[in-house]
Structure 1
Amino acid sequence: MPEYAVVHDPRFRDLILPNAELTKLADGMLWAEGPVYFAQGDYVFWSDIPNNKLYQWVEGCGVRVFDSAANNCNGHTIDDQGRLISCEHLTRRVTRREHDGSVTVIADHHAGRRLNSPNDVVVKSDGSIWFTDPPYGILSDYEGKTADQEQDGCYVYRVEPGGEPMPVATDFVKPNGLAFSRDESRLFISDTGLSHDPDGPHHIRVFNISQDGLTGGSVFAEIEHGVSDGFRVDKEENLWTSTGRGISCYDPSGVLLGEIRVPEVVSNLCFGGAKRNRLFITASTSLYSLYVGVAG
């Protein structure tokens, strides 16, 4: 096994390539976040929240600043038309970047009040957009702008195409990362309340999705080392998540299979590459990549 791999369950050996190197693709950021892969151009976007920049890495070309006034954006995803959807801390909104470069606001208010600071976002196959709304972007000027919280809590929202944001989960302290199971029957959501409270939650919960919303919400996995900031699901329904000391991989029932140790605190990750078997990892000041033995 490579030095970066820690095996907790023998099944993890099949998910790691013994000759794959953990490679640093870019560095120099203050807090890298929100990687998203675009297959049509073989490139990755990610945020440097405190520096207010959106970066792009292109295979064979390297790194460039794509947007130097990125509204302290955090998490990103891509919709079925290949458009970038972003969570912006500074403007407290979720936006979509159209193909002509214009920006469409997906959500910025609920019940007549401003959102807290949208953090992470996913798109369902029916076109609905789901996002988390903790207060990180309004707690200080470092990742946004200090402001009062206008919402009664920190919710998870769903936005139907052309509709308004509707809360689907309201019992989180600080909802953060989220991801669908491959068949979209379940939604995983992390709570990172530990970040500002030593007794706060640091786990991932799993919900069943129905026409009426979400049901269940049991704890899928407790994060022993840090918090689960962002995560993705692979083709075998394993969940790969950031933790305080790297990436942890859990099987579909929540059993820890193994870890990938990264030299910096990992914030988020996504699958990409031509075969979707390449992890792109944002970690503190850097963007890393690692080929693995399963596709995302």
Structure 2
Amino acid sequence: MTGEIIVHDEAFRFLVNPAAGLKRLCSGMLWAEGPVYFPQGDYLLWSDIPNNRMLQWIEGLGMRVYRSDSRNSNGNTRDREGRLVTCEHLSRSVTRTEPDGSTTVLAESYDGKRLNSPNDVVVKSDGSIWFTDPSYGILSDYEGKQAPQEQEGCFVFRLDSTTDELTLVADDFVKPNGLAFSPDESLLYVSDTGLSHQADGPHHIRVFDVVDGVTLRNGRVFAQIEKGVPDGFRLDRQGNLWSSTGGGVQCFSPAGRLLGEILIDEAVANVTFGGPKNNRLFITATTSLYAIYVAVSGAV
């Protein structure tokens, strides 16, 4: 039942506030994804991929179209200067929106070949941009444009903020998807949603040690999602990971222990923390945007 809170570990009772309740803020999307909160304006942006648009939600004003031709945008984040950074399926690129509204292409090819369809993105404290590049946007015209895959696989990349050099940091994924750093940035979590197009494909989140701030080592499975796939996720300031699933949101401890769930009757694609206290969990779930106040704030 949508809004029901399931406790698997007593620690979860200190992370949620049942009295707050889950609230559906708006609906009408085909596939809601990539939520990002902007504290300087107290608003949320997210993508509606198949409808080729980006939406904005403001408390008291509701939803409006922020960008009507988003080039089938998917994942979004903010850079260190507060600018919007976006993964675009149609253009097969990662872009940045400048203060004047223009867009700058940050990455569109690797080793002389076009990227597949950048999916999710995160910015590290040193300004480097890390993103995943599965093939979802080129498999059909539904959320991009069907096209041949030029890359030899589906990879995870790092874009250096000083040199603009694009480096392949992980090449052993089927469909790399969501990603996020631990609060101290010593770990990088990356999900693999290969189950979406492969019956025995992965549906788990892996974690890597970040060496010298630029290299990934010691990849291992952190948690497996049994219903659906772990599309997108975020971490709170205590290091707990809040992941999307086919039946809502699941919360895992830093050790990978399932603490609890927030049930939703739609497949969840992604989550993000926001609000003035960064303690409101925004949830993009297929056709709708939900939110719930929790008892912990998101990692910054």
Structure 2 match to 1:55: 55
Structure 1 match to 2:22: 22
Letter aligned with residue 120 of structure 2: D
Structure 2 match to 1:65: 65
Return the alpha-carbon distance in structure 2 between the equivalents of residues 185 and 54 of structure 1.
Answer: 32
Return the alpha-carbon distance in structure 2 between the equivalents of residues 149 and 129 of structure 1.
Answer: 23
Structure 2 match to 1:226: 228
Q: Please report how far the alpha carbon of residue 236 of structure 1 lies from its aligned counterpart in structure 2 after TM superposition.
A: 0.8
Structure 2 match to 1:205: 206
Alignment deviations for residues 131-158 of structure 1 (CA, whole Å, 9 cap, x no partner)? 0000000000000000000000000000
Say if 2:168 is the partner of 1:167.
yes
Structure 2 match to 1:120: 120
Q: Which moved more, 1:162-171 or 1:213-222?
A: 162-171
Aligned-pair identity (%): 64
Structure 1 match to 2:152: 152
Q: Please report how far the alpha carbon of residue 18 of structure 1 lies from its aligned counterpart in structure 2 after TM superposition.
A: 2.2
Say if 2:222 is the partner of 1:239.
no
TM-score of the superposition, structure 2-length normalised?
A: 0.97
Please provide the CA RMSD for this pair: 1.0
Return the alpha-carbon distance in structure 2 between the equivalents of residues 286 and 226 of structure 1.
Answer: 17
Return the alpha-carbon distance in structure 2 between the equivalents of residues 18 and 185 of structure 1.
Answer: 32
Return the alpha-carbon distance in structure 1 between the equivalents of residues 151 and 276 of structure 2.
Answer: 42
Return the alpha-carbon distance in structure 2 between the equivalents of residues 18 and 163 of structure 1.
Answer: 45
Letter aligned with residue 226 of structure 1: G
Structure 2 match to 1:189: 190
Structure 2 match to 1:139: 139
2:279 is aligned, of 257, 277, 280, to 277
CA change 1:207–1:151 in 2 (3 A) is: same
Alignment deviations for residues 185-223 of structure 1 (CA, whole Å, 9 cap, x no partner)? 000000000000110001000000112511011000011
Return the alpha-carbon distance in structure 2 between the equivalents of residues 282 and 98 of structure 1.
Answer: 25
**Is the contact made by 1:107 and 1:164 (CA closer than 8 Å) also made in structure 2?**
no
Return the alpha-carbon distance in structure 2 between the equivalents of residues 242 and 3 of structure 1.
Answer: 14
Alignment deviations for residues 103-149 of structure 1 (CA, whole Å, 9 cap, x no partner)? 11110000000000000000000000000000000000000000000
SS in 2 for 1:206: strand
Structure 1 match to 2:218: 216
TM-score of the superposition, structure 1-length normalised?
A: 0.98
Q: Please report how far the alpha carbon of residue 294 of structure 1 lies from its aligned counterpart in structure 2 after TM superposition.
A: 0.7
Structure 1 match to 2:12: 12
**Is the contact made by 1:265 and 1:283 (CA closer than 8 Å) also made in structure 2?**
yes
Corresponding residue pairs, total: 295
Q: Which moved more, 1:84-93 or 1:258-267?
A: 258-267
Please list every run of 5 or more consecutive structure 1 residues that lacks an aligned counterpart in the other structure: none
Return the alpha-carbon distance in structure 2 between the equivalents of residues 29 and 240 of structure 1.
Answer: 22
**Is the contact made by 2:5 and 2:18 (CA closer than 8 Å) also made in structure 1?**
no
Please list every run of 5 or more consecutive structure 2 residues that lacks an aligned counterpart in the other structure: none
Return the alpha-carbon distance in structure 1 between the equivalents of residues 108 and 243 of structure 2.
Answer: 27
Q: Please report how far the alpha carbon of residue 3 of structure 1 lies from its aligned counterpart in structure 2 after TM superposition.
A: 5.7
